[in-house]
Amino acid sequence: MSPLRPGRVLEGKVALITGATGGIGRATADLFAREGARLIVTDIDRHALDELVSRIEVTGAEILGARLDVSSAENWDEVIQLTRQRFGRLDVLVNLAGIVDWPGIEDTTQDAWERVIAVNQTGTWLGMKAAMPLLRASGNASVVNTSSVLGLVGSGAAAAYQASKGAVRLLTKTAAVEYATRGVRVNSVHPGVIATPMIQDLLDEQGDRQPDIVRTPMRRAGVPAEVASAMLFLAGDGSSFVTGTELVVDGGLTAY
């Protein structure tokens, strides 16, 4: 069957999305459901997770919610076992869960550093490690890891966040090479300034004067749905010859 077959992009596929109650996570879950995926959505916030599941269920999509601390190997094993029991397969893993800490080198505390690394970097590795047996069994699977434009260029701040997102970028590439002939593609998405709850207060305060928006050639923040569309492309069969790449969604911010 052609990878460019008509119809819903993820029809028949099972997709697991972490950090699914965040701005990009919600948009990705909504889009994947519309495109035919059966979903496992996870987050550390059980209440927000239940609301997301209830909202998507009414559309007729098959969806399962599971609380997940991505920095816990035990939690990951439980979620993958739940996926195996409920769906018997896994075709797409989207590692979206992440946290940010804004201080630079001298003002970052060790506790903050270790927490950001645990969630953003270790959590991405643990997700791939736990999910790979099911993904390999699919024979045609995709992993989408979430890095950032701050995993590509420096900002002079957010030391822990930048370190973690740079690590996700290269972790993605080495996984892509490792699994290139084993039925699993692995790519990273690099959002720029996106109007999500994580940065909304800053956007509300500074608006179009926010420095990164001023430096963005398109002179605006992106919206979560624009990142979700990139996730969908990498998750679907239309990107069947794409692995180890960086898909940047930043309005041209890193084009200078």
Mean pLDDT value of segment 122-150: 98
Residue 96: inside a domain, yes or no? yes
Domain hosting 84: range is 14-249
CATH of the domain at 195: 3.40.50.720
**Is residue 49 situated within a structural domain?**
yes
Domain count, the chain: 1
Look up residue 150 and give its DSSP letter: G
CB-based burial, 194-207: b 16+ in 10 Å, e otherwise: bbbeebeeebeeee
Helices (H), the chain: 23-34, 46-57, 73-87, 110-116, 123-138, 159-178, 197-206, 211-215, 224-235
Residue 5, domain member (yes or no) = no
Q: Is residue 7 part of a domain?
A: no
Instruction: Say if 21 falls within a structural domain.
Output: yes
pTM greater than 0.85 (yes/no)? yes
167: left (phi over 0), alpha (psi -120 to 50) or beta: alpha
pLDDT tens-digit readout, 139-153: 999 999 999 999 999
> Catalytic site residue 161?
yes
> pLDDT confidence of 91, banded at 50, 70, 90?
very high
| Nearest alpha-carbon partner for 93 in 181, 197, 172, 6 | 172
From 32, 87, 113, 161, the catalytic residue: 161
- Owner of token pair 């397969």: 89
Is 73 a member of any domain?
Answer: yes
